[in-house]
Structures are given as structure tokens and as C-alpha cells.
Structure 1
Amino acid sequence: METALLTTQDAQYAGELLKAGEVVAFPTETVYGLGADATNDLAVKKVFVAKNRPADNPLIMTVADVEQLASFVTISESARQLMAAFWPGSLTIIMPIKPGQVSMLVTGGLQTVAFRLPANETARAIIRAAGVPIVGPSANTSGKPSPTTAQHVWHDMQGRIAAIVDDGPTEVGVESTVIDMSTDTPTILRPGAVTQQQLEAVLQQPVFDATSTESVANHVTPKAPGMKYRHYAPDKNVLMFDPLDALALKSALAAEDVVMAQDETLATLNLPLTRTWSLGATLDSATEQLFAGLRYYDESPDVGTIYVEKMPPIGLGKAYNNRLAKAAGNQEFTL
């Protein structure tokens, strides 16, 4: 299959490809997504094949407006409050499905389904052109770091999908927050740019954060991506490190090792530029650059271990550390 490279001016054509049952990678503000008609089982199967994705890993459905949800799910008042506050944006909401309305390929056989309305205007234009909700998992090979540029998508998906729509680098850099609103207690299943504190402020009730405690047995279908299978992992070895240990790390580095860190930490390390990847000076920039740096070094020859700085575990730092821990298999540099 020849994969077409499209621009933001080709949203209508991308939508027509989706209507025809093709798979199209599209930009969002979080990471690039892999789109297919969520109502077309054959199209959805193509997504699983392209990503080499386990069949019991449910897919997020992506919509252009709230009206597209009506025939698929039962929307509680609390869920509507979250939509009003955070949509369009980096929040995915899990809700009970209406019987017979969503394919088991999308839900993994569950009685719930996850929806998101992205902030990226091109994404919404493509979905409007398609005329149906589309599935939107990250546009990468399953288990690998998520794509934040069209070039990342091309690396993983060239020859596997019909087209890639290029809208430049993504703004957030990690996937959306996933909140389960299908139970009595709102529960975060994946951290992202929308924080627990922000959710509680809107709902005016406690929100349980299951991201550090939730584990899924082999025989159980996860409710959200990232809960059961290894995610975000390069082929090369990745170790997390605390910035307070920067000098000790410098002494332990082998000649082929590289470091991804914020500018202040890199100044302390004083390593050659060829061995460092700047995560910028802010938490926002670090999150935006995390997957890009991991992909760059994973594809670079003669790179040994990739050492990556941890962030304070508050706000967006929880999402950053969650992705980093999964990429590293929870391995840390120790003194």
C-alpha cells in the first residue's frame, strides 16, 4: 500500500478516505491518532492490524461535536459538566454504551466506551467530513513511544495505512486524561493534561486516581489504553533519574549513553550537545518533548542507555512521569 502525505488543506479528502473504510493518521493536540470509521468493523480491524494491537485493548472514539455522541452512549449530568468544561480538549470520558450501538471491536466486549472531542481544528474538520465518529488510538506501532510529528507516524505506518495528515508537532505531547464516568466514583484511568484537581473542581466531588494502583490481570479486558500492556517503550534501554542525582549520573555514564533533561540539569551535567536532548525549562516543554526525544535516540545508531529526568509528581508531572515510567519499565538510576 502506498501511503499519501496530506496537509491540513486536505481535511475533506481525508474524511472521504475514512468514509471509504480506509485508515488515516490525523493530528490532535495530544499525539497523532490513527483514524478509521468506528461504525465499520472492517475499517476498525485495519487499525488493529496496522498497529499490531491486542484485540482486547479498547479503542477511544473521537467526535467532532457532542451531538455525535447521542446515539451511542448514555450521558450523565456529571459527564456533561466535564464536556462543558474541558471539550474540545485533552479529556477522554468513559460512559455506558447503548445496546447494539458500538462494535465489540471498539469496546473490547465491555459495556462502556471512551469518547474524546479534540481541540485540534484539523482533527474536527476531518471527522466532520467523515460524517461519523472515528476511532483514534495513537498512530504508532503498539507498545512504542507515541508519535508527536507526522514524521514519527511515517516511520511506523508507511505502507500500512492510506494517508497521513501533517499539521506539525503536537502541542501537549502526551495522550489525553482518561476518566471513567460509568461508575458511582469518577476514576482517572490514565493521567494527562487535565489534572485530578481540575476534574474535582468541576464535579465538586472527589475523583479517585487509579493510575498508580490499577493493574489488569491477563484474562481481564482493560477499560482504557495503557492499563494492561507495555506502552511507550523504545527498543533501547531507558532509565529514569532524579535531577538531584545529576552529578552522580555524570560519573556513571558510558561513552555511548545519552541524557534527556531540562536545561538546568543539562547545565549541571555539562555534556557534549551530541549526547543530550533538551526538555526545555518548563514542565509543558518537557512533556511536549518526551516522546520526540525517546524516538530520536531509539532510531539513532551507537546509542547505549537513554537516561531521562523525572519531574515533580504534581499536575502535568503525573502524566509525564507515568509515560516515562512505562517507557523505562519502571527502571531507575540508583547511586
Structure 2
Amino acid sequence: MARYLDVHPHDPQPRTVAQVVALLREGAVVAYPTDSMYALGTRVENPDGLERIRRIRHLDDKHHFTLVCADFAQLGQLVHLDNSAFRAIKAATPGPYTFILQATPEVPRRLAHPKKRSVGVRIPDHPVAQAILRELGEPLLSSSLVVPGAEWPMTEGWQIKEELDAVLDAVVDAGDCGTEPTTVVDWTSGTPEVVRSGAGDPDRF
């Protein structure tokens, strides 16, 4: 049964955030709010959590997981950035964008694309996600909370708890955070290619 943690969307309670992070450090898979929609998250060093997210979402091994970062410095340790990518991504973050770039050796091989050695990274502009990331002190392995076969993503924490109670360890409810996923920009060829338009303005790329 998943724990239900009600968090203020703009001023998250430190005690509740600490409880979420304690669960993550114990190996939990949690549903948490972002600036585009709810997401599933677990620690990067938790292969069991990764497999659980795969099962929840029915994902294959070609799926790009996202490493959700607290800030640009953290992001820069995970991916290779040339000058143009550095400037453009820094200007667009934090925000509802996912960037696919070549992974550095800091990224475990099991998290990168098996052939391209690429990985998705993002910095969310949501107070609750940011509070969790700062308290955790490391990136969060994450995937958008899209249930197979559902017409729309779930937007309320109580609904996520009801639907996924048996497969999650915690639901962090900060109210409705929308149904639109991030805009995904693939930078692996050296130039930006928008591969999915979403909550972030794609025109800047």
C-alpha cells in the first residue's frame, strides 16, 4: 500500500519532503509532481526501482529514462554539452523540457540508450520536485506517469493512489499539475531536433 503525502504546491513542508527522501533512500518508487505532469521516480542507484517503473508503464529496454536534476551544475555532470547546447539549455531551464544528450561516464550503462549511449535530462520548475531533489542531493531516475491504455494522464494524487496503490510506495500530492508532458529535444546529432512538442515552447529550438 502506498503512503499518501499531502504537500503544499508552492511552499512544501520540510518534514514531508524529508519523509519522501527517506523513502527514496530505502528503495522506494514514488509518484511526484513536476511542472508538466506527475512522474514516477526512484534513485538512480536502484535497479529494482527502474524495473518496477518499466513494469508499471510497460516499457521496453529502448525507452529513454530521464535523469531529473536540481540544477544545471548537476545536469552538466551527466551529459556532454558543447557551447551551443550549453547556452540554449541553460536559458531554457528550469522548465518543462527534456533534453536527450550523450551520457558521460557518470551515468550507469543500464540507464543510457544501449546503442547511442544517450540519456534524457531535465530540470523541473516545480517547488515540490525541487525540494525533493535538493534534499536528496542527487538526480532522480524518472519517467512520466502515463498508465498504459489510459486516455489521459492522472492529475490528482488521490486518483494516483487509488489506481496504483499496490505498485507504488508513496504518492506525493501537490494538486493538479497538468496533463501535458515535457517538450523533448534531441541534441545527440549536435543540433537540436524537437521530437515531441509538449508543455515547453518548442519554437526556441
Q: Map Cα deviations across residues 235-264 of structure 1 (whole Å, 9 max, x no partner).
A: xxxxxxxxxxxxxxxxxxxxxxxxxxxxxx
Name which one, 1 or 2, has greater alpha-carbon Rg.
1
**1:79 pairs with 2:78:** no
Partner of residue 25 from structure 2, selected from 3, 7, 19: 19
Alpha carbons of structure 1 residues 79 and 142: separation in structure 2 relative to 1, 3 Å: farther
TM-score (norm 2): 0.87
- 2-side partners of 1:103 and 1:186: how far apart? 24
Aligned counterpart, 1:264 = none
- 1-side partners of 2:196 and 2:159: how far apart? 23
- 1-side partners of 2:68 and 2:134: how far apart? 11
Aligned counterpart, 1:102 = 107
- 2-side partners of 1:65 and 1:116: how far apart? 9
Aligned counterpart, 1:48 = 54
Partner amino acid, structure 1, of 2:108: S
**Superposed displacement of residue 42, structure 1:** 2.3
- 2-side partners of 1:142 and 1:135: how far apart? 19
Q: Map Cα deviations across residues 48-85 of structure 1 (whole Å, 9 max, x no partner).
A: 12333223212111111112123321122222222332
Partner amino acid, structure 2, of 1:32: Y
| Kept after mapping to 2: 8 A contact 1:139/1:153 | no
| Kept after mapping to 2: 8 A contact 1:7/1:167 | yes
Aligned counterpart, 1:251 = none
| Kept after mapping to 2: 8 A contact 1:61/1:114 | yes
- 2-side partners of 1:167 and 1:98: how far apart? 33
Aligned counterpart, 1:204 = none
**Structure 1, gaps ≥5 residues long:** 200-335
Aligned counterpart, 1:111 = 117
**Superposed displacement of residue 151, structure 1:** 3.0
- 1-side partners of 2:84 and 2:97: how far apart? 14
TM-score (norm 1): 0.55
| Kept after mapping to 1: 8 A contact 2:182/2:199 | yes
| Kept after mapping to 2: 8 A contact 1:89/1:119 | yes
Give RMSD over aligned pairs: 1.8
Aligned counterpart, 1:3 = 2
| Kept after mapping to 2: 8 A contact 1:15/1:128 | no
Q: Percent identity?
A: 27
**Structure 2, gaps ≥5 residues long:** 8-12
- 2-side partners of 1:71 and 1:195: how far apart? 25
Q: Select the structure with the greater relative contact order (CA < 8 A; seq sep ≥ 6).
A: 2
**Superposed displacement of residue 184, structure 1:** 2.8
Partner of residue 187 from structure 2, selected from 181, 185, 201: 181
